Structure 1
Amino acid sequence: MPKTALKQLDFRPLIIYFFLGFSSIIVQSLLIREFLVVFFGNELVLGIIFGAWFFWISIGAQTGSRLAFQIKSLRTVFCLSILIGLFLFPLQLYLIRSVRSLLAVSPGQYIPFLPMLAFTFLCTAPFSFMVGWSFPLGSRLLDMNTSSRAITIGWLYITEAVGSLVGGLIFTFLLVGHFSSWQLGAALFLFTAFLLPLLIGKFVRRRFYCLLWVAAIAILSLLVLPFAEQANKVTLQQRWRSLGGASKLIASVDSKYENLVLAQIADQYSLYGNGQVAFIFPDPYGYANTAYFVLTQHPNPKHVLIIGDALGGLLHPFLQAPIQKLDYVQLDPQITNLVLPYLSEEQRKTLSDPRLDIFYTDGRFFLKTTSSRYDLVFLNLPDPTTAMMNRYYTREFFQEVQRVLKPGGVFAFSIRAAETYFGLEVENYAASIFQTLRRVFPHVVVSGSETNFFFASDSAGIVTVDIEILTRRFACYSTQTAYFSPYNFYLIFQPERVEFIRRALENAPNVRLNTDLQPITYFYNLLLWHRFASGINKTKSLSFVKQLSHFRLSWLIFLLALLLVVRLIFLGWRKIPRRQQSAFNALAAVAISGFAAMGFEIVLLFGFQNLYGYLYHMIALVTATFMLGLALGSLVMNHLLNKIRSGERTFIYLEALILLFALILPALLNGFASGPFAELPLTTSQILFSFLILNAGMLTGAGFPLASHLYLRHKDEIGRAAGLVDSFDHLGACLGGFLTGTLLVPVLGTVQSVYFIALLNAGGIFLWIVNLIFPRKY
């Protein structure tokens, strides 16, 4: 930016916009956490939330672009818009915590896809519309002080990105888990009310009015903060009634990883993670059955690893067996803190057994880094209903388990099924896991009951469904228990039922393997979700989701080609000046950049999580690194704007770089998973992966100032230009987040998803080439 323009620039609107970016990322994070609880942690909702969030920002920016130049009291409207957005945030919290009651969904049942989609779009509207609306207003405020209009828009975009970066880091490392959503919402409103008078110069210069305003905010804080905590308690109870039914809410905690709820009904406790039951205790019969079903699959297990939920009572029967060492991997230490006071004395003593070691870390991360070898690995986690859970049912995870097993070792896990119903949804879901498992372990057996146990080994004669063999192995245990009998083997190993399930899983047609790069089981589980959902529009939702399973990349290619042909016909029919063509292409290009930004971010988040485990702080750093890339890309382009001779050619080069990055990204991800980068030390590998994320952000962030520059050549009105560019950027991000998170990655996989991003950029390059080859005078 030229020094004269920099001197003229009033930094007060930038300070406010920095805080708006800071607030928006915190509000978005809080909404995501709240949505994940009522939607049972299913990360398909992330694509919907991002899509809805960016959709309303786009609508808000579009509206602001049309009205910004008509507003006379610009500062006042700008301030009130931000305050109103934060003031309405509690309404959004109330609606989210009431959604299951409003949609008449029974406790424990899933919300169908279409009502979930409609409600998410409705509920995200207030704050995100305000974020979009304020961008053209902020541009006009800055425009009052400098003539460098494209650079002014760029600075506003950079400031928002840096504010989001700082807000995301502070939220993740300092705020989450310590304050409720209502408390954080109230604090943001009060702090914004304190800051906004900075925009009113005369107000700041009058010391008396400043002191009076500070006193008023302090008094308001004393009233609002206690009310916020009370409102949090009331709405938590309201949400719990829709989730837990008749059970009594004992405690609700927002940990770094999820919302944890401990509930009680009669003499039993239930622990919920993001609305879903993680485990129930005490349940000595159930845990004894699980333990001995698993232990007897190995002739003589000495070293055992459990990944997942075992604190409620599973550890005790395992340690009653004559094993020498038990390693237990659990992600969230808050689970122990929450459950420990309610465990029996016997269960608490189990935790001090010298054979037991507890590791609070991600299961996949533990497998990648441990040097221990085991006779038996038992995965005791929920079904792959989310992207996080699906990581534990992919071919790559099974290979990681195989690496830590001793020769003849056994791997065991279970998924829910329907004992009396084995329709297409269940068959595809279970068959995908079964056939993926058999690609890694040659010997696999499956039980037949309402819970399907999968047992796998690389050696013949180890895993078995032969009840006589299992009974002999159980008889070798010197410890007797009143909670298990060899007759219980008949509960899950009835020969006819076992044979029926084996044939169904082996012969299921057109079932795809579940991999890190193509998490199809995640989508199959969505079909199963809708089969057992309740509430309004259940049948329509199931039919709609079934149609999505037939989705093909060729459909999107055809649609893209059709749009390009229509554009060519339109250009041939209408004589459009070159600058007007450039303005249209700039809006199209920034929309493509927005799509690519969200697509890359989702793909890289999933990739990082698959490679290095669900390390919450590291995932936050992934997002922060991407936001840093957006800011750096915009900063570099902002600096170069006055030196660029041809904005059209520059955009061609930029989109070509994004296209090239998309084409090589699958190979790079494979390189980190099993290629040359996989052999590097963990820290070095993570640093190199961070450069991938940074580059993705820089490439997609550089287009925003350039698009503003090209559009302003066509219409030199900063409010309209800023609003339209911001609107199209977020419209692209809306489509990118929604399609990538809910359709492209789950159904088509990572490779085809990024190839489609490459095709989009190829289409953008084509439009610029047409503009240069067939120029028309302005």
Structure 2
Amino acid sequence: MRRVVQDLGFAGAGCLTTACQIHLTRECLTLFSGNELCLGAALGSWLCGIALGSSVGAWLARRSTSPGTSLAVALVLLSASCMTLLRLFRSLAGVGPGELPGALSLLLAGAVLVLPGAVIAGALFPLLCADSGASGDPQPVGRVYAIESLGAAAGGAFVSVWAAGTLSPFMSLALCALPALLFLPLARIPSSAWAVRRAAGLLPAILLLGAAASGLPSRLDEWSARLRFEQLTTGERLKASADTPYQRLDLAEREDQFSLYADGKLLSTFPDPWRELPRAHLVLTQHPAPRRVLWLGSSGLLAAPAALRHGVQHLVIVDMDPGIGALIVPRLDEGARAALADERVRRVSGDGRRFLRETEERYDVIFSDAPDPLTAAQSRYFSLEFFRLARERLADGGLLALRLGGSFNVADPFTARRLLSTLATLRQVFPGARALPGAGTFLLGATDPDSLLLSAEALRRRFQERDVRDPQFHPAQFAAAFETAQVGQLEAALENGPAPSLNLDGRPTVMLSGILRESLIESPTSVAWLERLLAVPAWWWILLCLLPGLALMAWVAFGRKANERRRTAVVAFAVTVAGATGLGLEISLSLAYQTLAGSLYRELGFLLASFMLGLAAAGAPLRAYLMRRLATERMLAAWMLLFAGFCAGVPALLWAAEGLLPFGAGRAVLLALVFLSGAGTGVTFPLAARLSQPVGAGAAAARINRADHMGAAAGALLVGLLVLPVLGWTGACLLFAILLFQAAGLLWVAGAPSASPN
């Protein structure tokens, strides 16, 4: 019975640490306006803290008393505190009104507010392994690893599938902490102990239950969320908030004017006829007879009355975040609500790209009114794959229109770079695509490029010939919507200058330009440094990643002494590479999943659960196998080769999942790839732990856990901040395949024909 309680404690620890990781990462996503680069920084900081904590845990494991419960309590309190401080980070870091935190703030938040909790989480694992070894388990590291991974998978699924959108983050964290605070102390208290001692051990769980029952976590969430919004210093009053699968939404009001914020960034204001009406009339006047119109974006809810004045017979508005419509529509005026109720209007809630992928209809006009691409989720509406998909859904003579903030002649270079990249990408599908520059820039791609109207006067004439009557819009406003004199400048720069990088789903270059633009406000020096790094040829980065393995290979090949030290170093290197590969693949596949499904914010825990389930599923049967067989370096080398082959095959499977398979099948393929990525690390860990067993359970756990998480931290940081923007999904997968092949070669050379002792 005690073994069962102990296993439940191990699973509870995994559930707790995963919940802390997910909630801290989601707070980082909200703080940095949903930008996925923070996945690399947040996960990298978390995993680096796990690695540092492993050394602390090894030291504690040598002591007579294991403070596992105390560490669990400290982890809950510290994580809740850091979540609160992340919500207050704008004030603490001095981010001004209207500004977005830049790259330096991103790294600072990870180091100061994510890493400390991870140190405590990392210290737990060696302690749990020492407890398992003390109870007589012959393979304590493998057992704890598998059970803790199962608990982590359960925690990730709980947070994403049920708690997200139902409970506040603080309440979700409290519930995920209960199993650890309940079963960890019970496993250490003998059944013969007095009832008072058992009650004392359960005191943290009892106090946490009392706090949850009193509603303290929910009140903390409301208080900190209100302070987070007040840091924007808009002078508005917060009216409503919502956590959606896509982002955190805040609706504010001042003098009957509403503003909608997504992850702290202004998304829309309404009523605002000076913004919405010129945009709608300009796009629809571009087409000679717009009968069937597809509007991608929640701004279509505001522009529907204007669109219907153009003789539109069928208007489809894809509300790409249903939470936006729920906040906006009840506050629209009577005319706007009547337009949305018109039989010619069809509202669709869900991802715009998925709708385009699944619909069979053809449209005269498709207007993609996505926000400026500061995230990979937004960048996918400006990518080559999106433009190809939209082209397939256009009728003969059809028009695709999109809009980007800023103009070509602005002072900073990154806005121009983003515009050039987007136009170059659009011209791969629409060779005659044109730009209408102004305060914002409209990009137009038509199946018949000669039909495009490139002057305000031409638009005015067509508008009047169509006899459109809108009391809130005059055709003279076309002259203010864009600068006719500047038409052609962007095209000339594209044709006469160096070819810009194309924006792809797997390599979102326009997102990177947006991030550098925001970072320019915060720190021009850091931007110059980042630009120099990004200008380094890709093959230099590949060589740099291979250098540690090459140096170790030279030592192994030419060194003739200290065989045990060489074997230990090679095994640690293999674990490091496997950890980097597992997390690098998880981040790459998470972004691929977002490209397909449209959301990552809420489903982050679900993806992490799939990864951890792969860890557990691979580790449990291997642990049973190693009870009968000796572990050798060459056994681990063979697995590294299989893992390398898997990485090399991932790009082809991604291509099939994103472009060939139906949505459900593609989603299943991506989840299977995440599961298998976890399995790759799940096999490596117990094999390496078995090879390191002679040093003792606690020390072996600390050594392998440290190497695994240092590699995972490096993989998360490099992939999230550098490899994906430079090499893309395909390059990242192939780089990891090369590193795994290198590790396999090292293991094969280092492994003598005799098996390692166990």
TM, length-normalised to structure 1? 0.92
Name the stretch that deviates more: 682-691 or 101-110.
Answer: 682-691
2:599 to 614, 622, 628: 614
- Does structure 2 retain, via aligned residues, the 8 Å contact 1:578–1:776? no
- Report 1:504-583 matches (<5 A): 504-531=493-520, 533-534=521-522, 538-571=523-556, 575-583=560-568
2:441 counterpart SS class: strand
- Does structure 1 retain, via aligned residues, the 8 Å contact 2:245–2:600? no
Partners of 2:192 and 2:394 in 1: CA distance: 68
**2:9 is equivalent to residue 19 of structure 1:** no
One-letter amino acid of the structure 2 residue matched with residue 127 of structure 1: G
2:119 to 88, 104, 129: 129
Q: Classify 1:219/1:141 alpha carbon distance in 2 versus 1 (closer, same or farther; 3 Å).
A: closer
Partners of 2:84 and 2:749 in 1: CA distance: 51
- Does structure 2 retain, via aligned residues, the 8 Å contact 1:362–1:615? no
- Does structure 2 retain, via aligned residues, the 8 Å contact 1:58–1:731? yes
Alignment deviations for residues 261-290 of structure 1 (CA, whole Å, 9 cap, x no partner): 001233311111111112110101211101
- Report 1:232-243 matches (<5 A): 232-243=221-232
- Report 1:226-625 matches (<5 A): 226-310=215-299, 313-418=302-407, 421-531=410-520, 533-534=521-522, 538-571=523-556, 575-614=560-599, 621-625=606-610
One-letter amino acid of the structure 2 residue matched with residue 155 of structure 1: R
- Does structure 1 retain, via aligned residues, the 8 Å contact 2:237–2:254? yes
One-letter amino acid of the structure 2 residue matched with residue 143 of structure 1: G
Instruction: Give the aligned partner of residue 689 of structure 2.
Output: 708
Instruction: Give the aligned partner of residue 653 of structure 1.
Output: 638
1:25 is displaced (CA, Å) by: 2.0
**2:665 is equivalent to residue 692 of structure 1:** no
Alignment deviations for residues 29-76 of structure 1 (CA, whole Å, 9 cap, x no partner): 21122112221111111110010010000100122223421x1112xx
Partners of 2:341 and 2:198 in 1: CA distance: 59
Partners of 1:601 and 1:572 in 2: CA distance: 33
Alignment deviations for residues 581-628 of structure 1 (CA, whole Å, 9 cap, x no partner): 222221111111111101111222222333444387776554433322
Partners of 1:58 and 1:694 in 2: CA distance: 23
Instruction: Give the aligned partner of residue 761 of structure 1.
Output: 740
- Does structure 2 retain, via aligned residues, the 8 Å contact 1:629–1:696? yes
2:88 counterpart SS class: helix
2:227 counterpart SS class: helix
One-letter amino acid of the structure 2 residue matched with residue 183 of structure 1: M
Partners of 1:79 and 1:576 in 2: CA distance: 44
Q: Classify 1:548/1:308 alpha carbon distance in 2 versus 1 (closer, same or farther; 3 Å).
A: farther
Partners of 1:709 and 1:464 in 2: CA distance: 71
Alignment deviations for residues 473-508 of structure 1 (CA, whole Å, 9 cap, x no partner): 211334412322222222244332112233224434
TM, length-normalised to structure 2? 0.94
Alignment deviations for residues 103-143 of structure 1 (CA, whole Å, 9 cap, x no partner): 11112202221232022111012321111101110001000
One-letter amino acid of the structure 2 residue matched with residue 111 of structure 1: P
Partners of 2:734 and 2:604 in 1: CA distance: 24
- Does structure 2 retain, via aligned residues, the 8 Å contact 1:203–1:209? no
Partners of 2:671 and 2:30 in 1: CA distance: 29
Partners of 2:201 and 2:59 in 1: CA distance: 34
1:155 is displaced (CA, Å) by: 1.4
1:740 is displaced (CA, Å) by: 0.8
2:502 counterpart SS class: coil
1:240 is displaced (CA, Å) by: 1.2
1:245 counterpart SS class: coil
Name the stretch that deviates more: 18-27 or 274-283.
Answer: 18-27
Instruction: Give the aligned partner of residue 46 of structure 2.
Output: 53
Name the stretch that deviates more: 287-296 or 335-344.
Answer: 335-344
Instruction: Give the aligned partner of residue 72 of structure 1.
Output: 64
Alignment deviations for residues 181-233 of structure 1 (CA, whole Å, 9 cap, x no partner): 23333444556444443123336865576678879965764456433333323
1:776 is displaced (CA, Å) by: 13
- Does structure 2 retain, via aligned residues, the 8 Å contact 1:51–1:735? yes
Instruction: Give the aligned partner of residue 721 of structure 1.
Output: 700
Q: Classify 1:235/1:686 alpha carbon distance in 2 versus 1 (closer, same or farther; 3 Å).
A: closer
Aligned alpha-carbon RMSD (Å): 2.6
Name the stretch that deviates more: 752-761 or 404-413.
Answer: 752-761
1:174 to 141, 162, 165: 162
One-letter amino acid of the structure 2 residue matched with residue 201 of structure 1: I
1:414 counterpart SS class: strand
1:393 counterpart SS class: coil
2:451 counterpart SS class: coil
Alignment deviations for residues 13-34 of structure 1 (CA, whole Å, 9 cap, x no partner): 3211211211222222211221
1:455 counterpart SS class: strand
Q: Classify 1:644/1:211 alpha carbon distance in 2 versus 1 (closer, same or farther; 3 Å).
A: closer
Partners of 1:758 and 1:370 in 2: CA distance: 37
Partners of 1:612 and 1:83 in 2: CA distance: 36
Instruction: Give the aligned partner of residue 639 of structure 1.
Output: 624
1:392 counterpart SS class: coil
Matched positions, count: 756
Name the stretch that deviates more: 505-514 or 383-392.
Answer: 505-514
One-letter amino acid of the structure 2 residue matched with residue 28 of structure 1: Q
Q: Classify 1:195/1:544 alpha carbon distance in 2 versus 1 (closer, same or farther; 3 Å).
A: same
Partners of 1:578 and 1:453 in 2: CA distance: 66
- Does structure 2 retain, via aligned residues, the 8 Å contact 1:373–1:405? yes
Q: Classify 1:295/1:752 alpha carbon distance in 2 versus 1 (closer, same or farther; 3 Å).
A: same
- Does structure 2 retain, via aligned residues, the 8 Å contact 1:394–1:514? yes
Alignment deviations for residues 622-641 of structure 1 (CA, whole Å, 9 cap, x no partner): 44333222211212321221
Alignment deviations for residues 671-717 of structure 1 (CA, whole Å, 9 cap, x no partner): 3344xxx1x5443444344433333222222000001011124x2x1
1:116 counterpart SS class: helix
Partners of 2:636 and 2:202 in 1: CA distance: 48
Runs of at least 5 residues in structure 2 that lack an aligned partner in the other structure: none
Partners of 1:25 and 1:721 in 2: CA distance: 23
- Does structure 2 retain, via aligned residues, the 8 Å contact 1:255–1:334? yes
1:243 is displaced (CA, Å) by: 2.1
Q: Classify 1:222/1:341 alpha carbon distance in 2 versus 1 (closer, same or farther; 3 Å).
A: farther
Partners of 2:173 and 2:610 in 1: CA distance: 25
Partners of 1:213 and 1:635 in 2: CA distance: 30
- Does structure 2 retain, via aligned residues, the 8 Å contact 1:553–1:752? no
2:500 counterpart SS class: coil
Q: Classify 1:613/1:246 alpha carbon distance in 2 versus 1 (closer, same or farther; 3 Å).
A: closer
Name the stretch that deviates more: 84-93 or 130-139.
Answer: 84-93
- Does structure 1 retain, via aligned residues, the 8 Å contact 2:657–2:669? no
Q: Classify 1:247/1:733 alpha carbon distance in 2 versus 1 (closer, same or farther; 3 Å).
A: same
- Does structure 2 retain, via aligned residues, the 8 Å contact 1:249–1:261? yes
1:298 counterpart SS class: coil
- Does structure 2 retain, via aligned residues, the 8 Å contact 1:514–1:521? yes
**2:105 is equivalent to residue 115 of structure 1:** yes
1:292 counterpart SS class: helix
- Does structure 1 retain, via aligned residues, the 8 Å contact 2:645–2:737? yes
2:190 counterpart SS class: helix
Partners of 1:646 and 1:602 in 2: CA distance: 30
1:668 counterpart SS class: helix
2:433 counterpart SS class: strand
Identical amino acids, percent of aligned pairs = 28
One-letter amino acid of the structure 2 residue matched with residue 541 of structure 1: S
Instruction: Give the aligned partner of residue 171 of structure 2.
Output: 183
Partners of 1:618 and 1:52 in 2: CA distance: 21
Partners of 1:129 and 1:415 in 2: CA distance: 42
Partners of 1:776 and 1:286 in 2: CA distance: 72
One-letter amino acid of the structure 2 residue matched with residue 711 of structure 1: S
